[in-house]
Structure 1
Amino acid sequence: MIWNRAGPTSEQPAFVERRRWPRISEAPLCGNATDLPELVSLPFSTSNEAPGRRFSAWKERMAPLIDACLPESSRVDDCFAANQTVWNLEGALLIQQETSAFSYERSPDKVRFSAIDHWQITFLRTGKTWTSVNGHVVENEPGMMEIRALGCPFYGRTISAQSVTLILPCDLFADYGGLPGASNNIVLGGTRVKLLADYIAFLEANLNRLTRDDLRGVRNQLQEMIFHSVAPLVDSHANGDRSSEIGLMTKARRFIQSNLGSADLTPETLSRELAISRTRLYELFQASGGVLNYIRRRRLLAARAALADVSNGQRIADIASDLGFESAANFSRAFTHEFGYSPSDVRRHTGECKIDHLPRMAEASTFGDWLNTLGI
């Protein structure tokens, strides 16, 4: 209540804002995506096929990656249902999928000339799968994360299921020295896996709004979240509760990956870099078959990637020398023993598959074309 000479009044004095500096309105910082290229997707549905042709269409769709078969209780003329959308993350694929029950196999013949190792990471929304690698069977179910190396043969089956899958090159994790070797054909759970699943669900909800300019950040986020979801669980399970050693393993993998071509990449050098004893170093790499075996395999994987690169005109002997092999003959023997085919076989196969160049993702029209852009 304010008093004046005429008596009380309910009027309030006008508010006067006093500023030392004038107010300047700033627009929010956000990109205008209207003119930016959108992500490319590749949809597929068996509903577009005649009932008796639906499973055949699905089998043809997946043939570049796996061989698909109907369960024994099903017939070809049954109405097999499958819906799939593949999204191009340019260097990785995100696959949304819903299918009826079927069996699958990635045979040694399919693996034989895979140019680059890739990881397949699957989150089930519904259903269950059972997959065997070297006689070891894992069961995946909703709420879990399944990870498998496409460079190894496997077979399994799924009941009717809905899933989202990432196919990622192993080289995406090169800065970390790669995912642990024991990551193949395992199922993981826990808080970190839940956070990763939530991030992927966020990506799915926004795929139609993302542009190609967003992809670098998306891949970097996936790389970091996947590595820090997988490595601690795998390392602790394989070697006991040794959280202090996870940092050592990460540092060791990075150092090895950064020095694959150095003749000085030896256990002694690595021990000095990590400031640990030779005995401790061998304990760290026991699950990988020893430090020398790990270094040798990383060099051979790098050599295989270089040989399969259609733009790499280096001689096989030069690639071997650059990666620390003493002679082309020693390299060829080690390569053939590791992969079951020779370096020249890779070059020959790459040359036969090359027409002018590998298809760019924007030019690719089939699932197989898109897998080819990843070197699978």
Structure 2
Amino acid sequence: MMHDEDKDTHLASEFVERRRWPRVSQAPLVQEAVLGPCLVPLRFETEGFPLDRQFPAWREHMSALLNTRLPDNIDPKDGFAARQAVWNLGGMLFVQQTAPAFRYERSADMVRFSPIDHWQITFLRTGRTWTGVDGRVAQNEPGMLEIRSLGQPFSGRALATESLSLIVPVDLFADGGGLPAACNNVVLGGHRVRLLIDHLSSVEANLDRFTQADLPGIRNRILAMVVDTVTPLVDHNDDNDQISQIGLMTRARRFILSNLASPDLTPDALARELAISRTRLYELFETSGGVANYIRRRRLAAAHAMLADPSDAQKVGTVALAVGFDSAANFSRAFTQQFGYSPSNIRKRISGDGAHPVGQADKAPQVTFESLLRTLDLF
């Protein structure tokens, strides 16, 4: 009788492994340690201020984006413990924010005189917000996604919240025809929204590992996911209308960029080029802050690139004419409004050490929330 040990030995002796090719171990593919510099956020916290100065400090910090005030039953002397981290993902801001309850408004006057007309896309981890546009109130809560145009007036209130937001120039969506105008002040939910929120949370978890080389892929993936999430939920046009919108926007953008220096680049000229009515043209650029505003921003961005180029020695007045402005004075005024510093400051820095082409002539520029908002279109 064969014992169990003898059976195992017998079976092992009969088994012969046959392979056509030799076995080669495949090591897992793992990214090497990051060697380049990681992203550095702009951080702001009120807790370093005296209690009675915390809310005024927050109000000033947010003033380029919103007018803010405390709820009626809150005493400013009790403090306002808020914090914010802003990451620039190559022309798209990723904003982490925690704040107590406050009220906010972006008034018609702010919109009229501000160059900031980006899309703001927000999801809450905690708290609730209520935002009104033209009498229509959108309520945001955890698990939902809110979209709002900073190129339109709005007002609202927030409970104590923890949030993640994207602030995206409208032009980043131009190649896809732009986000539908119906996006403004809507709150979305569902499985598409959950996938986008999960992706943004994944990006957030890795912000301190990304390098500059990572940013184009990260940004483009987020843009694609936003469009895939938003468009089916808010765009009620048929497919042919959507294709037409994309084609028109692409043609319009190319025509504008090819004719920046022409004084004849006007809304009427663009409407003739596209063979559409002025009404249709204004609808096409509604989410871009209007046709004239879009052309102006593109001209200023081109001028900024020329002035910041050390190899380009053109004078400010020459650059102004080269991008379609009728006078250096009008150009300088529009440039300063757009970027928060004058075009001459760029030239002064270049003629000095060349290291910091933006800001005051005698010191390096200070990066602020406002300067990030104003210069997003340059990336």
Equivalent position of 1:311 in the other structure: 305
Alpha-carbon distance in 2 for matches of 1:111, 1:98: 25
Structure 1 residue 9: Cα displacement: 4.7
Alpha-carbon distance in 2 for matches of 1:84, 1:105: 19
Q: Secondary structure at the match of 1:137?
A: strand
CA pair 307-58 structure 1, distance change in 2 beyond 3 A: same
Pairing 1:28-177 to 2, within 5 Å after superposition: 28-115=28-115, 117-177=117-177
- Residue identity matched to 1:294: L
Pairing 1:329-344 to 2, within 5 Å after superposition: none
Alpha-carbon distance in 2 for matches of 1:47, 1:134: 36
Paired-residue identity, %: 42
Q: Secondary structure at the match of 1:193?
A: helix
Number of aligned positions between the proteins: 333
Alpha-carbon distance in 2 for matches of 1:70, 1:304: 34
Alpha-carbon distance in 1 for matches of 2:205, 2:336: 43
Gaps of 5+ in 1: 271-280, 283-287, 322-327, 329-341
Equivalent position of 1:346 in the other structure: 334
Q: Secondary structure at the match of 2:58?
A: helix
Q: Secondary structure at the match of 1:104?
A: strand
Alignment equivalent of 1:301, drawn from 288, 294, 312: 294
Structure 1 residue 344: Cα displacement: 7.1
- Residue identity matched to 2:37: P
CA pair 201-292 structure 1, distance change in 2 beyond 3 A: closer
Structure 1 residue 15: Cα displacement: 5.5
Alpha-carbon distance in 2 for matches of 1:320, 1:127: 47
- Residue identity matched to 1:290: R
CA pair 164-54 structure 1, distance change in 2 beyond 3 A: same
Structure 1 residue 169: Cα displacement: 1.0
Structure 1 residue 42: Cα displacement: 2.4
Equivalent position of 1:10 in the other structure: 8
Equivalent position of 2:376 in the other structure: 374
Q: Secondary structure at the match of 2:120?
A: strand
Residues 111 and 150 in structure 1, CA contact (< 8 A), matched pair in contact too:
yes
Residues 339 and 374 in structure 2, CA contact (< 8 A), matched pair in contact too:
no
**Given the alignment of the two structures, is residue 254 of structure 1 paired with residue 250 of structure 2, yes or no?**
yes
- Residue identity matched to 1:111: V
Alpha-carbon distance in 1 for matches of 2:282, 2:46: 49
Alpha-carbon distance in 1 for matches of 2:292, 2:367: 34
Residues 68 and 105 in structure 2, CA contact (< 8 A), matched pair in contact too:
yes
CA pair 90-72 structure 1, distance change in 2 beyond 3 A: same
Higher deviation after alignment, 85-94 or 181-190: 181-190
Gaps of 5+ in 2: 260-264, 308-317, 347-356
Equivalent position of 2:212 in the other structure: 212
Residues 68 and 104 in structure 1, CA contact (< 8 A), matched pair in contact too:
yes
Equivalent position of 2:314 in the other structure: none
CA pair 131-19 structure 1, distance change in 2 beyond 3 A: same
Higher deviation after alignment, 11-20 or 59-68: 11-20
